[in-house]
Amino acid sequence: MCGRFTLNTTANEITRQFEVEVNEAISPRYNIAPSQQILVIQQKEVARSLLMMKWGLIPSWVKNLDSWKSNLINARVETVGEKPSFRSAFKHRPCLIPTSGFYEWSKDKQPHFFRLKDHQLFALAGLWESWSNGEDELVSCTILTTKANTEAAKVHHRMPVIIQPTDYDSWLGELNHRKQLLDALPEVDLELYPVSKKVNSPKNDTPDCIKPINSD
């Protein structure tokens, strides 16, 4: 699964990597948690746009938010095209979620931080949905997960789907292209290390969250 991630970058870097206009400064985040508002990139006709969405997808068919108890922060690639909660978003509403890294927990509850070996900004595969009761509107999203690759499997059996820059257009484009990407996800060079259990609490959102626990 993917239950926490980070975004420590600049507006210029997001513009460069994702070819999207950024109109304000990006505050560094080291412990982004479910239900919080996160930065999401979606395709708007011929251009990409950057906006904030609630992390935890709410299907459009939900009648009442007070009675909706599910927290759909992740969608499995194996069933995303079939489950009622995700299949419409998978067909029509893909998105990219920029990140600097993510966390996973081992069986002994030890958190680990994962990032690309080159420490570059990257994108997670996401889906978004718009819910409305006729008066209020809420836009939300979820992160896709897949079977862990060789490196990630040292800690957890699942990991978020990482989209390569060369595949951004394919992911944000036609459904068949998304299916093809998920059928043949490339191996990603990751590095990981254990971090403090401070990350267990969303109240802790500082650089200490990504500091190796064996670091001075």
From 95, 104, 129, 209, the catalytic residue: 104
Structure tokens at 107: 């069986």
| CA atoms within 13 Å, Cβ hemisphere of 171 | 27
Of 6, 7, 23, 3, the C-alpha closest to 15 is 23
Q: Which residues contact 38 (CB under 8 A, 6 or more apart)?
A: 7, 32, 52, 53, 54, 55, 97, 141
Burial class (CB in 10 A: 0-12, 13-18, 19+), 8: middle
Tracing tokens 């459009």 back to the chain, one arrives at 60
Helix (H, G, I), strand (E, B) or coil at 51: strand
Q: Catalytic site residue 104? A: yes
DSSP 187: P
Q: Which amino acid is at 99?
A: T
Q: Are 162 and 32 in contact (CB under 8 A)?
A: no
| Residue matched to tokens 């992911």 | 171
Closest CA to 1 of 53, 69, 93, 72: 72
Quick one: how far is CA 170 from the chain centroid? Answer: 17
State yes or no: is 191 an active-site residue. no
Query: What positions carry a catalytic annotation?
Result: 2, 104
